[in-house]
Amino acid sequence: MLQRALNNKKIRLATHKRLVRWHGKDGVLAGLTLEDPRDGSLEDIACDGAFIAIGHKPNTRFLQNQIDLDDNGYIKLHKHTMTNVAGVFACGDVVDTRYRQAITAAGSGCQAAIDAEKWLEEVHEEKGRCDP
């Protein structure tokens, strides 16, 4: 896939860059500003589409000692999309060690929403309210 992307004239890879700002016009993406953290230089790019690849390490360090994580930092799921903390659900790239793509995140987001709804219904039935 990398070689296909490199050979596609419509795709520009901007490695070692950090997104600083999105630019839009009338609610439509028109460009972005990237920063190279190695030297602080900024670059404005005109575009009408962008795909942000976050790499292969989930940004979950802030959850350490709060939610069960595996050795690579992915959130461990215990029952469907529920974590080890009741009422806390996880989905998308932070749990998906294989696909890590937007469609997977969207699909598992729907799963987590349904699981959260079912959990809230169960809590409501058990306690007569939605206060876990």
Of residues 123, 97, 92, the one with CA closest to residue 107? 92
Instruction: Out of 45-49, 74-78, 98-102, 110-114, give the one with best mean pLDDT.
Output: 74-78
Long-range contacts of 16-24 (CB under 8 A, 24+ apart): 17/43, 19/52
pLDDT digits (tens, 9 = 90+) for 53-109: 656 778 898 999 999 999 999 999 998 999 999 999 998 888 888 776 667 777 878
Domain residue spans of the chain: 2-46, 61-127
Q: pLDDT digits over 16-44, tens only?
A: 899 999 999 888 899 999 999 999 999 99
Does the global pTM surpass 0.75? no
Which H or E run includes 21? Answer: strand 18-25
Tell me the C-alpha distance between 16 and 36, whole Å: 6
CB 92 within 8 A of CB 104: yes
DSSP H helical ranges for 26-91: none
The domain made up of 61-127 has a fold known as FAD/NAD(P)-binding domain (3.50.50)
